[in-house]
Amino acid sequence: MGSGNAIRGSRVGAGPMGEAERGEAAPRVRVSFWCANMHETRPSFASDAAVPEYWDCPRCGLPAGQDESAPPAPPRNEPYKTHLAYVKERRSDTDGAAILAEALERLRSNNRTPW
């Protein structure tokens, strides 16, 4: 015997059941993207939308492109550089010593003036 439930296959609070109530879905197109690890991702886009050149791979996070034979290269991760590291790239130790000596001399000459 049945349980007496008149509404089967639905739950309380369920929304409308079909496209007539929701309206028709926009036409879609699925595009394949491949990352450097050869993972394929197939997001769907509206048929009239512009498809991006790159897409982030949901499995590994690398950028993915539409060309399976030549996926984009992984980005280079450069270590964090301090301000001093950038200065040392532009100046040699002798340049730094000369600039320091000049700045110290300027400070010393400013302190000699009587008040």
Tokens of 71: 């996926």
Tell which residue, 54, 52, 70, has the closest CA to residue 62: 54
88 is in an annotated binding site: no
Tokens of 65: 């492109």
60 is in an annotated binding site: yes
Euclidean distance between CA atoms 88 and 30, whole angstroms: 50
57 is in an annotated binding site: yes
92 is in an annotated binding site: no
Binding residues for Zn(2+): 35, 39, 57, 60
Binding residues: 35, 39, 57, 60
